Amino acid sequence: MARSDRRQAMAVAPQPEASECGIEVLQAGGNAVDAAIAMAFVQGVVDPLMCGIAGFGSMAVWRASDGAHEYIDFHAPAPAAATPDMWEALIEGEARDGYGFTLRGRVNDIGYQSICVPASLRAYATAHERHGRLPWAELLEHAIAWARCGWVVRPHVHGWWSMPAEMGRVANFERIAFCGAGRALYCRGDGSPKQVGDRVVNPDLATTLGTIAREGADSFYTGDIARAIAADMTACGALLSAEDLASYRPRILPPLETRYRGYRVTTNQPPGGGLMLAEMLNILEHFDLKGMGHNSAEYIRVVCEAMKQATIDKDAHIGDPAFVDVPVASLLSDDHARQSAERIRRGEKADVPRFSAAGPSRDTTQICVTDRDGNCVSMTHSLGMPSGVVTPGLGFMYNGCMGVFDPRPGHAGSIAPGKARFSSVCPSIIFHGDRPKLAIGAPGATQIAMGVLQATLNVLDFGASMSDAVSLPRFSATSNLIDVTNRIPQSVTRELEAQGYGIVRSPHSYGIAWVHGIHLEDGVLQGGADPATDGMALSC
């Protein structure tokens, strides 16, 4: 759903409950950061496999009063007990899209050993301390009410819970049924996922959030909640410890920047996906994309080759900068972009190596907010591939971020204690002059940067409205195959097949990430929520 308005505040999210919460917080005098935090808490209640207080993510904050711009990056690190070679002997394969490895016993994908250090709650608190206006407790009121009184399963939630296994990953219905607490919350009596219209009431989460509202985030990291978490982790053989919780802090970083068609593009630093987005834009600036025609065979070929190059570079080089020397300057250099563009012009096909060739995971969600003062926030946060673990009495699910680490030692994405794995999340703000033009981001695992890229091109190269930008058919290449949604015409994909490209056609009309954004220009706000979700844009 889209919204265009001359009023000066807007909230966009994949969940209507979150969008409504954001607007109510803005109307109560909160700023964009307050609204984003409150929305994030609500999302963790009403979309519990997508995100939550035990997840991770990245938040872009731009302050209108002085142009200050920073990222609060909260990528969940591996617990201190993790070691580089602990799962090397268990490898069965790598997902075709590059999003994780399949191991014997699925220990990295579901259950207690899949859990990295929960990062989201500490980041929400940090954002509030640095930028918030309303009292902390007020930002949890909407989420507590939804948890205590209940919410109704929406079509998108049910569709996600019911999805079968893809590329060797655990099916989502297995995740919600993994433990007794999860089954009690999200399954019917016969063990099947709750259906559209069924109600979910979570009094345990309401109590947990109430404690956090009164005592702050420390209650989760060093207080009574932390002790309950640590006891459960120890009893069930998890890697996560009380010391991991107590020591966690998010990183405050400047944006990574590039320029595209005269616009200043700001996005997040590694191990986030912003470097991939910036690299692709640098390559594509060498082409007349508009002249090719939107989603023509040549357009898709050129953009997919840029995607493949960025994927190759990601696999080889992009990891946690505290552990890996990421060659940011080289990957964003004019020479690198020009050489990549020349290879594409010659018709060369980049080769994306995979340990094995096995569709995408999207256990992530997005928030875009702008307030009456002009402040902007774009936040992408997630559980990764959810662990399925819900500690009895606490009511929230933990991330499953260990699943995307490379279990082979010596790689950019290899496991190490305290290391954060690569994530494609790339919440971004794009400027025209010194003012934001576009706040954008998406869920979608390895497809996030690809979806954000296409929606950005739709606005900047093709002049699309925000609604059209997030709705137009998308495609992706994170392997040697090209994935397309079902609204890409067969006649177009036949041209690509004639050039030797393998095509994987989705039965879905929408997909390749779920992009959400706000377009700001000449006092007019345009909001776009990806039609593949239940979300909406609201303004006040």
pLDDT of residue 64: 96
The residue behind tokens 């990891």 is: 319
181-218 per-position pLDDT tens digit: 999 999 999 989 999 999 999 999 999 999 999 999 99
pLDDT of residue 300: 98
Q: Is the pLDDT of residue 281 over 70?
A: yes
Is 109 within the bounds of a domain? no
What are the residues whose beta carbons fall under 8 Å from the beta carbon of 299, sequence distance 6 or more?
289, 292, 293
pLDDT of residue 356: 47
**Active-site residue list:** 364
pLDDT band at 298 (very low <50, low <70, confident <90, very high): very high
Is 461 within the bounds of a domain? yes
pLDDT of residue 98: 59
347: domain range?
Answer: 253-359+425-525
pLDDT of residue 428: 98
Residue 366, φ and ψ in degrees, nearest 5:
-140, 150
Is 187 within the bounds of a domain? no
Query: Helix (H, G, I), strand (E, B), or coil: what is residue 390?
Result: strand
Is 471 within the bounds of a domain? yes
pLDDT band at 355 (very low <50, low <70, confident <90, very high): low
384-428 per-position pLDDT tens digit: 889 999 999 999 999 999 988 999 999 989 999 999 988 999 999
Q: Is the pLDDT of residue 357 over 50?
A: no
Q: Is the pLDDT of residue 99 over 70?
A: no
CA-CA distance, 363 to 347, in Å (whole number)?
Answer: 35
Nearest 5°: CA angle at 159, between 157 and 165? 115
Is 123 within the bounds of a domain? no
Q: Is the pLDDT of residue 1 over 80?
A: no
Is 243 within the bounds of a domain? no
The pTM is what?
Answer: 0.95
Segment holding 20, helix H or strand E? helix 16-27
Is 177 within the bounds of a domain? no
Amino acid of residue 137: A
CATH number at residue 477: 1.10.246.130
pLDDT band at 100 (very low <50, low <70, confident <90, very high): confident
Buried residues in 357-371 as b, exposed as e (16+ CB within 10 A): ebbbbbbbbbbbbbb
Q: Is the pLDDT of residue 168 over 70?
A: no
Is 505 within the bounds of a domain? yes
Alpha helices (H) along 150-284: 155-161, 172-176, 180-186, 203-215, 218-221, 224-235, 242-247, 274-284
Q: Is the pLDDT of residue 364 over 80?
A: no
Distance of CA 129 to the CA centre of its chain: 23
pLDDT band at 166 (very low <50, low <70, confident <90, very high): low
101-143 per-position pLDDT tens digit: 889 999 999 999 999 999 999 999 999 999 999 999 999 999 9
DSSP 3-state percent helix, strand, coil across the chain (nearest 5): 40, 20, 45
309-336 per-position pLDDT tens digit: 999 999 899 999 999 999 999 999 999 9
Number of domains in the chain: 1
Q: How far is CA 517 from CA 91, 329, 380, in A?
A: 38, 28, 11
Segment holding 304, helix H or strand E? helix 297-317
pLDDT of residue 359: 42
**Across residues 66-78, what is the average pLDDT?**
97
Amino acid of residue 107: V
Taking all residues of the chain, what is their mean pLDDT, rounded to a whole number? 93
